[in-house]
Amino acid sequence: MNRPIYFDNNATTAVEQAVLDRMIPYFTMEYGNPSNTSHVFGWAADEAVQIAREQLASLLKADPRGIVFTSGATEAINHVIKGLGKGRTNGHIITVTTEHKAVLNACEELEAPGVETTYLPVDKDGLISVDQVREALRDDTFLVAVMWANNETGVIQPIEEIGQLVKDHPAYLFTDATQSIGKVPVSVENIDFLALSAHKFYGPKGVGAVYIRPGKPVIVLPQLLVGGGQEQGRRASTLNVPGIVGLGAAAQIAADCLDEGYRDMKAKRDHFESVLRTSFPEIAINGEGADRLPQTSNITFKGIRAADMMAEIGKIAVSTGSACTTGSGKPSHVLSAMSLSPEEASGTVRFSMGRHTSDAEVRDALDLLCTYATRKYPVSV
């Protein structure tokens, strides 16, 4: 089967072979329940979970005690926001208009009982400023939720500077780092909560983690799932040992190749964007004026309906909207927040390369796109 070129790594990545190899024994041989510490099968599973916890903590420069395994970032996000808001009839949250829908929808749910949310607007590049956060902080602000890097545009927010600001305020700082892990350095310094999913950095689907800052004062966060006492009483459910092992292995690989991977993906992305500029009469690279993830190109093709273009080309797998909210029929809320019109949003494609995207795949994708441009603009190109 002649499969398309895969340029949709922000939606999900392939599981690394080394990650899969590490996982398989925990399906077939070491299949014990880590909560059962009365025999060797449980001991082996528990040890594997603790190793994975340490591997992920090392990547995040975190205390392993702060790592709680979940089914993914969406659960982690709901755990933090709904947990902090549980039982509140007042108080204030600060977040950003371009956050993932999991964050925005969780905040909206808390507004019904009386919590107020400030949604910070972004500039044309999708950025907020530290001053915006400073001006929005109030005495009753209990949470600041800012995504580390945007899933659609790759734009990186000034998280370190925001962390410096918020550490002197009673509010907690939460960041959805799902797209950043394994692509740029991520540290939990001055971060109270962080969410991630393994399948965004070459681990398996269905597993993720929430970081909850340990130490004193202890952060009291009600369980989202209740039942047993797993994960230090933070999250009830039998642990997905193979998935957790895979997450840990993916984290270790990410740490080992972070710098080299960044340079390689950025070089491919910059070349890709440069060639497209010469082939299409008018394109806009959304978020170009900001620091971006090295493999993400969010490009608006003026006067073109992106879905039609990619369907005609047919050999490149991409997202013409946010993969998590496709089917809504509405323009991307991220692009709308960046002041793109509905027509411009409909002409936008997210190309997201990966660690294993080859030079040949970049070349072939460019050939297909440039050939389309030649047909579309036979005089000007």
- Which residues are designated catalytic? 324
Q: At what angle do helices 40-60 and 241-279 cross, to 10 degrees?
A: 30
List the single range of 146-150, 362-366, 376-380 with lowest mean pLDDT. Answer: 376-380
DSSP 8-class letter at 237:
S
Q: Please give the Cα distance from 21 to 203 (Å, whole number).
A: 11
Cα–Cα nearest to 118, from 94, 85, 145: 94
pLDDT at position 381: 45
Averaged pLDDT for residues 225-242: 85
b/e per residue, 214-241, with b = 16+ CB within 10 A?
Answer: eeeeebebebbeeeeebbeebbebebbb
pLDDT at position 314: 93
pLDDT at position 323: 44
Q: Give the pairing of strands 316-317 and 5-6.
A: parallel
Cβ atoms of 306 and 346 within 8 Å: the answer is yes
Examine the pLDDT at 267 and tell me if it is beyond 60: yes
pLDDT at position 125: 97
b/e per residue, 292-320, with b = 16+ CB within 10 A?
Answer: bbbbbbbbbbeebebeebbeebeebebbb
State the distance between the two ends of the chain, measured CA to CA, in whole angstroms.
33
Averaged pLDDT for residues 146-169: 97
Ramachandran angles phi, psi of 296, nearest 5°: -105, 125
Cβ atoms of 67 and 56 within 8 Å: the answer is yes
- Write the pLDDT tens digit of every residue in 276-286: 999 998 999 99
Which CATH class for the 17-253 domain? alpha beta
pLDDT at position 329: 64
Can you spell out the DSSP letters for 304-354?
--HHHHHHHH-SEE-BSS-TTTTTS-S--HHHHHTT--HHHHHTEEEEE--
Q: Which CATH number fits domain 5-12+258-376: 2.60.40.1930, 3.50.50.60, 3.90.1150.10, 3.40.720.10?
A: 3.90.1150.10
Q: Please give the Cα distance from 55 to 64 (Å, whole number).
A: 9
Averaged pLDDT for residues 207-232: 86
pLDDT top residue among 103 and 40: 103
Q: Please give the Cα distance from 337 to 326 (Å, whole number).
A: 17
pLDDT at position 328: 55
pLDDT above 90 coverage of the chain, percent: 84
- Write the pLDDT tens digit of every residue in 354-365: 999 999 999 999
pLDDT band at residue 1 using 50, 70 and 90 as cut-offs: low
Averaged pLDDT for residues 37-61: 94
Examine the pLDDT at 117 and tell me if it is beyond 70: yes
Examine the pLDDT at 251 and tell me if it is beyond 60: yes
Averaged pLDDT for residues 32-50: 91
Examine the pLDDT at 231 and tell me if it is beyond 90: no
pTM of the model: 0.94
Examine the pLDDT at 225 and tell me if it is beyond 90: no
Examine the pLDDT at 198 and tell me if it is beyond 70: yes
pLDDT at position 223: 80
The residue ranges of every structural domain in the chain are 5-12+258-376, 17-253
Pull the structure tokens for residue 350.
């997210």
Q: Please give the Cα distance from 157 to 147 (Å, whole number).
A: 7
pLDDT at position 78: 96
pLDDT band at residue 322 using 50, 70 and 90 as cut-offs: very low
Examine the pLDDT at 18 and tell me if it is beyond 90: yes
Examine the pLDDT at 274 and tell me if it is beyond 80: yes
